Chains A and B, each alone.
Chain A
Amino acid sequence: MKLKGPIVTLGVGAVLAAALLVANVSLSHRDADAVAPAAATSSAPPASTTSASTTSTSATTTSATTTSATSSTSVASGSTTATGSAVAPTATATGKVTYAGEVKGGGSLAVAVSGDTAVAYFCDGRTEAWLWGSAAGGVLDLKDKAGDTLTGTATGERLTGTLTTGGRSRPVDLKPVHKPSGLYRATADVRGAKVVGGWVVLPDGSQVGAWTADGGAPRPAPALDLATGSVVLDGVRLTAAAPDPAAAS
């Protein structure tokens, strides 16, 4: 009687927590097709297909489309704006191809080539590098301000070359990938700091990503919701999208 009260309280709390957990899990599966790296398959879930096709529509123009990060359920604060260039990282009529794969020695690399320009992102969960540059004639010459480079050739069927980050060089050999695999980038001004997140999503559904604030040390990024590109960084919901190779930053 009197002594059972606290146990009941604990029990009610546990039941409430369990109910919320079940609701959350079912929500993730229904609403977002949340792709846990281990559980993901190479086939796009229905929701992703819908999302991907809408993105592709706006993507046939290779210009950057500004996407608002705020939605009715988003967390973004009033001072937060997020932009992502919505260009589908797949082979299209405009000649845009995204290559992705693992790099020998650790980490993943994705390269989006569009016409004469390309953007590459390397991430191993601890270090990262955004590389921008020329892809004229299928010859890649990408670099960043820290002196990291990616050189090689891209044929549309295969990308081979050499990646150098942090003073370490290794060969790369990548194949084209299709949505939702590929390269994702989210940028936002969060309370005055420039937040940049990057993700490489491989065909097996595994993803690796990191984010920085004001160019500081990279931090492991939470998994992207591949259906919507949605992710929470620093308590703010952002929408990640394929970056525009021509918009070097």
Chain B
Amino acid sequence: MSQDALPPVTEPDPATTAATPDAAAGGRSRATTALLTTTAAGAAVSLVLGVFGRVHTPSGVAINVAGFSGPMEVKVWLASLSAGLAVVQLVSALAMYGKLPVRAPRWTGTLHRWSGRAAFLAAVPVAMHCLYALGFQSYDTRVLVHSLAGCLFFGAFTVKMLSLSRSGLPGWVLPVFGGVVFTGLTVLWLTSSLWFFTTVGVRF
């Protein structure tokens, strides 16, 4: 699925290509290799999650967090925490890229990194419960979209994280995958937490 979200890799951003033609060609092939390896890793993550969720027999039970009335409530609130932090991610990223009318404070980068880590770590237990107890399901549209978005989210997040540690990538890579991660998480939240709040109710 990650591949589907990928823009063509053959058109590197002029801003990141080097001045001389030779260096530009070298930069292009390095960037292409880096893009291919990171997206391949992300695609593998998506695939593994989806296949595990589909093949593994859902247990129906999984460990719970104390203080909540049930695993669904835990997941709904952890997912909401993650989605809320994702909004922080979007705003801080826009600020870092100078897309906001205000000048980004010096701590914007730190805020972006730590809110991202927190959002990711809050999402992991939710995904584990989904995968272990419920599995990849397709019996209605909401559930299918949710299952697909879950696989996409962790795959795209992997690409985004790996891309951060690679140099020479075109400038559009991080915003694009950041955007895919944000979109994935938003779809996940809409198809689970919002659904839960509107059909079951706001409960703890």
Say if A and B assemble together. Answer: yes
Footprint of B on A, CB under 8 Å? 3-7, 9-10, 12-13, 16-17, 20-21, 23-24, 27-28, 31-32, 34, 36-37, 73-78, 191, 219, 222-223, 225, 230-232, 235, 237
| SS of A interface (majority) | mixed
Of the four ranges (under 10, 10 to 19, 20 to 34, 35 or more), the interface on chain B belongs to 35 or more
Of the A-B pairs whose beta carbons lie under 8 Å apart in the complex, a sample of 11, sorted by A's number, is: A5-B165, A7-B162, A16-B121, A20-B128, A21-B128, A23-B63, A34-B61, A75-B70, A78-B203, A222-B135, A223-B57
The 7 closest A-B pairs by CB, nearest first: A6-B161, A6-B164, A20-B128, A222-B58, A232-B60, A3-B165, A77-B200
Cβ-based interface call for B183 (8 A): no
Asked whether, in the complex, the Cβ of B132 is within 8 Å of the Cβ of A24, the reply is yes
Contacting A at CB under 8 A, from B147-204, are 158, 160-162, 164-165, 199-201, 203
Question: B55-81 interface mask toward A, CB cutoff 8 Å, 1 = contact, 0 = none?
Answer: 001111111100000111000000000
A232 partner, pick from B121, B124, B127, B134, beta carbons under 8 A: B134
Give the residues in chain A near B71, CB-CB below 8 Å. Answer: 73, 75
Give the residues in chain A near B127, CB-CB below 8 Å. Answer: 17
Give the residues in chain A near B124, CB-CB below 8 Å. Answer: 13, 16-17, 20
Cβ-based interface call for B113 (8 A): yes
Asked whether, in the complex, the Cβ of A73 is within 8 Å of the Cβ of B60, the reply is no
Give the residues in chain A near B133, CB-CB below 8 Å. Answer: 24, 232
By beta carbon, the residue of chain A nearest B165 is A3
A-B contact count (CB 8 A): 100
Asked whether, in the complex, the Cβ of A5 is within 8 Å of the Cβ of B113, the reply is yes
Give the residues in chain B near A78, CB-CB below 8 Å. Answer: 200-201, 203
**Contact A31 B61, CB 8 Å, known A16-B124, A75-B70:** yes
A32 partner, pick from B59, B164, B165, beta carbons under 8 A: B59
B165 partner, pick from A4, A23, A237, beta carbons under 8 A: A4
A26 to chain B, nearest CB (A): 9
Asked whether, in the complex, the Cβ of B113 is within 8 Å of the Cβ of A24, the reply is no
B120 partner, pick from A9, A34, A36, A219, beta carbons under 8 A: A9
Asked whether, in the complex, the Cβ of A9 is within 8 Å of the Cβ of B116, the reply is yes
Complex CA distance for A243 and B70, rounded to whole angstroms: 27
Asked whether, in the complex, the Cβ of A16 is within 8 Å of the Cβ of B165, the reply is no
A21 partner, pick from B120, B132, B139, beta carbons under 8 A: B132
B61 partner, pick from A4, A7, A28, A219, beta carbons under 8 A: A28
Give the residues in chain B near A34, CB-CB below 8 Å. Answer: 59, 61
Complex CA distance for A225 and B116, rounded to whole angstroms: 37
Complex CA distance for A32 and B199, rounded to whole angstroms: 29
A196 to chain B, nearest CB (A): 15
Cβ-based interface call for B117 (8 A): yes
**Contact A37 B120, CB 8 Å, known A4-B165, A6-B162, A232-B134:** no
Asked whether, in the complex, the Cβ of B62 is within 8 Å of the Cβ of A10, the reply is no
Complex CA distance for A144 and B142, rounded to whole angstroms: 32
By beta carbon, the residue of chain A nearest B73 is A75
Complex CA distance for A219 and B143, rounded to whole angstroms: 13
Complex CA distance for A21 and B56, rounded to whole angstroms: 12
Asked whether, in the complex, the Cβ of A191 is within 8 Å of the Cβ of B121, the reply is no
Cβ-based interface call for B84 (8 A): no
Give the residues in chain B near A31, CB-CB below 8 Å. Answer: 61
Question: B96-126 interface mask toward A, CB cutoff 8 Å, 1 = contact, 0 = none?
Answer: 0000000000000000010011001100110
Complex CA distance for A37 and B56, rounded to whole angstroms: 11
Complex CA distance for A28 and B127, rounded to whole angstroms: 17
Asked whether, in the complex, the Cβ of A222 is within 8 Å of the Cβ of B128, the reply is no
